[in-house]
């Protein structure tokens, strides 16, 4: 891959970072590799991004903003629970498919911390706590863990609201909306990540979404 030298340095670093992170994952990606591909000095990376983790976070956070906006806009255009769910998953499946490598890093590297877990208060506000002893988890680790969770939560909360509204309107059986939304959301995400190379290219993202929603609403995909 060759990056256009006429692009601003910050943009070249972002393009190089996406390429290197997608190819090697977070842990095995190096700033030296990103610097070489972007053809910039090491000081330039530190100037714009600080360090490797801050660079990765900015890369995915910038992508996440229009993604969440697209999810919300898709849902708002439709009427009825089924149509809204199909619109939501059409956008989500396409984004997760096209950005699978980066989002797998979020799920399997940035959030794969056996010492941390999230708890939610009665208003659904998340807090990071240690699974074992508070001494095992630094405040810096907790802050990073929550920061990446907030990205996923921003995507998840749109689905959760659909399910809350569906239960309130008796379109769905009453129950714990967070649990129902969690099973659906993370089940779809894991399905995409684990079968990314087996995705049928002849089926559209909307058709995939219809299968997901049919399975959720009726218990059997058509």
What's the confidence (pLDDT) of residue 129? 85
- Joined together, the tokens standing for residue 45 give 């990376």
What's the confidence (pLDDT) of residue 13? 95
- Joined together, the tokens standing for residue 58 give 């900015």
What's the confidence (pLDDT) of residue 116? 84
- pLDDT (tens digit, 0 to 9) for every residue of the chain, 222 residues total? 889 889 999 999 999 999 999 999 999 999 999 999 999 999 999 999 999 999 999 999 999 999 999 999 999 999 999 999 999 999 999 999 999 999 999 999 998 877 888 888 888 888 888 888 766 788 888 899 999 999 999 999 999 999 999 999 999 999 999 999 999 999 999 998 887 666 556 789 999 999 999 999 998 654
What's the confidence (pLDDT) of residue 108? 93
What's the confidence (pLDDT) of residue 161? 97
What's the confidence (pLDDT) of residue 222? 46
Q: Compute the residue count for the chain.
A: 222
What are the phi and psi torsion angles at 4 (to 5°)? -60, 120
Please, what are the domains in the chain?
1-50 (1.10.10.60), 52-218 (1.10.357.10)
38, 12 Cβ separation under 8 angstroms: yes
Q: Would you call 39 exposed, middle or buried from its count of C-beta atoms within 10 A (0-12, 13-18, 19+)?
A: middle
Please give the Cα distance from 151 to 57 (Å, whole number): 10
Q: Which contiguous run of DSSP H or E holds residue 127?
A: strand 126-130
């Amino acid at each position: 891959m060759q990056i256009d030298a006429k692009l601003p340095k910050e943009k070249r670093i972002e393009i190089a970072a996406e390429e290197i992170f997608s190819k090697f994952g977070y842990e095995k990606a190096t700033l030296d590799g990103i610097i070489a591909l972007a053809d910039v000095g090491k000081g330039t990376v530190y100037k714009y991004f600080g360090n490797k983790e801050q660079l990765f976070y900015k890369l995915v956070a910038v992508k996440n903003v229009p993604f969440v906006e697209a999810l919300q806009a898709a849902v708002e255009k439709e009427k009825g629970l089924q149509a809204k769910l199909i619109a939501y998953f059409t956008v989500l499946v396409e984004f997760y498919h096209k950005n699978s490598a980066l989002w797998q890093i979020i799920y399997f590297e940035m959030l794969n911390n056996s010492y941390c877990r999230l708890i939610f208060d009665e208003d659904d506000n998340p807090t990071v706590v240690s699974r074992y002893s508070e001494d095992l988890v630094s405040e810096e680790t907790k802050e990073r863990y929550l920061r990446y969770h907030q990205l996923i939560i921003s995507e998840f909360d749109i689905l959760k609201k659909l399910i809350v509204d569906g239960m309130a309107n008796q379109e769905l059986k009453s129950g714990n909306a967070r649990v129902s939304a969690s099973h659906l959301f993370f089940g779809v995400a894991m399905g995409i990540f684990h079968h990314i190379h087996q995705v049928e290219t002849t089926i559209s993202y909307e058709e995939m979404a219809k299968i997901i929603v049919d399975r959720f609403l009726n218990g059997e995909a058509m």
